[in-house]
Structure 1
Amino acid sequence: MRSIKSDFLWIMLVASIILLVGCYGKSEQVDTATYCVNIDSVEVVDTLPMSSLFKSGKIVCLLDTASAAMLGAIDKMEICGDYVIAMDRDVRHQLCVFDRNGKFLHAIGAKGNGKGEYADLLDFTCDSGEGLIYILDGKGGKIHSYSISEGEYKKSVDCSNEYVNIKYAQSCLYCYHPSLNIGEAHAARFLLDRIEPSDGKILEQYLTSGYNKGSCHPLMFNGSAFLGTESGTFRLALIFANQVMALDKDGKVYPYLTLNSRNWVSEDDLKEFGFRSDHKSLAVLFSRRKALGMSDFMESEKHILLSYMQGFSRSHILYDKAKECAFVVRRLTDDLLGSKVDFGSMNLQYAGSDGKGVYFFLPPGDIDSMSNQLWNSPPFSRLHVADNAFNGAVFYYEFK
């Protein structure tokens, strides 16, 4: 999902990053992360085949090309029960529901100012248990709810803060609200709210700017602070944080995974470089070989795989739970769908996990940048559609 439109940050986005960050704001929260990795001292592996982690890969479906279903882009996708839900935030401003075969079922709401409409389609999240979908209406300052199966409008609640991301988990909505404001008073406020879906009331707050190296800036590489995981829980990471936070079964947010490195961006670095939420500031950090920006968090019973940026390059961390050891991986190769094709060249974007495997999606526009060799080889040749009306596709890789 792309929150910043320049080519420079788009590359950063595709490079998906998983930031592992510390937790503040509650005395009950534990101080030590479940997993810790010192990336300066672990073994470096040049390439890692996808078959090391997954036993199979497949194209689940191509999305319907009916006129009402056409998407100008896909900024986010969730697989919720029997449904594939795709958001086009900036081009056609719509949220579309498809079945598992890619057949278009209906849209959720519409852009406008009337009842059941949204002024600004900023984010969405699903409650699979109740069959509800929640839309975060940024400019409208509201959260709207609808039924997934019929698209029926249910209700709207006012937001207490200017949220940019939402995630449904354990009967509540978790909402991230950064800010461009600065100052000590602002730095002490919380970045994450847990709210009651029925009325928008704040139930609990977590994480001050200290978690994000003193920054409250909303800058993100993958468009969301929430990392795709199984329904009912989440992982969270902000761009400068070196910890991934997790939600436990008791509703507490705690440090789950920490990446330590002498090169990880620090609060002093941000002050020294006068960081602002712009391309120039990021370029300075990357030119100094600073590490930051975790995303694409994938976890099985045996392994954790995530990404981060250092300099202008993406690297991956592979953590083996049984052996309690980690590796830095320079490049992933897909030997399940392609013949050891560089995984990054496939332009697949992360859509979450069902616990048994991982979903990815290929957005409509990204198919143009696939190499001809890859594009014309099975199974990718299946993506060819008449009149170049490709509307996106869903992929699935099953864990070993």
Structure 2
Amino acid sequence: MRILHTSDWHIGRTFHGHSTLDALRGVLSELTAQVREHGVDVVIVAGDVFDSATPAAASYTLLSDVLRGIADAGARVIVTSGNHDSAARLGFQAGLLRDGIHVLTDPDAVGTPLTIEDADGPVRFYGIPYLEPALLRHRWEGVRTQAAVLGRAMDLVRADLAERGGRSVAIAHCFAAGVEPTPQLERDIQQGGLDVVPLSTFDGVDYMALGHIHGRQRLSESVRYAGAPLHYSFGEGDKPRGSWLIDLDADGLAGVEWLDLPVPRRLVTLRGPFAEILTDEALAEHAEAWVCVEYTDDLPEADPLRRLQQRFPFCAKVVHAPAKVRTGDTATYVDRVRAARSDRELVEAFLEHVREGQGATEREAGLIDEVLDERVRQEAMA
């Protein structure tokens, strides 16, 4: 049996205010072509199908179109819900879909497999939707963490598998121990505390298809994250996009291959002085990329995003990151004001406060003196 493991589509997510629907449609169209090209039997979507619990109508349309396309390419589809999805809404859509498309969102069905046969016999697919501990305490006594609920779910899987037999694939959406997180993305399940699920939790199945991490991860030969099909932040820019192609033979896991997906628009982060980024001819190659600029000037620039977009139309993010870091001066604004002995020093105190220690430039100092001298003359004539 040939299985394609994908996850974290996040349909409806925006990228710094820009819609990603068209880009995602194109990428998932390529994924559908890969299903046909490689003779895939089953496609797994391991959670976070949508980016919101209340997706817009266009998001539902995209999902329906893609799932039908995959089914038309000859594959069964198994979808589970993630922490961004509304399990109820996603589960409701299951009844509206055609045969061969399975949406698994019910915690009460954990441990009951979807069985698909091939020439070597049955393969048991155990879909584990995102499980919120607070909502399961009345069903599963003592569960208070992601580790606990996933442990209980996998116990149910192993117990059922011991009775039924056959090869097995489990699907879950969680933060497993040993992963490298993408900053500011996996924001709802935290690493470093009780919400990390030990790798040993997933023992006992031939392959464990995980979702939630946006970059591909290989935790063991049989436990992997596929990551998201699109780049959703500049922190992901160096991570490939794609899915895992899994082969099962009569004895279980026979092979795993990575299939790349196209990147509709590259992501690049440029760092340096503002004027240099605006004029350096070597940066012209990034004119069609999504661009994040971290400019290192001591002082902030006026209207930097608009100015940068004149050269980089897809500049989406600008960060003022001064190369000089202020150290040692702990004086507050009140302290500076109280210490000022003249209007000139009072203005300087203000500039140092708002510019994190950087006072007036030579040109600014001349302008300030002119303004203050004019004020003195006007007061003398009053």
TM-score, normalised with respect to structure 1: 0.28
* Structure with bigger gyration radius: 2
Q: Which has the higher contact order (CA 8 A, sep 6+)?
A: 1
More strand by share: 1
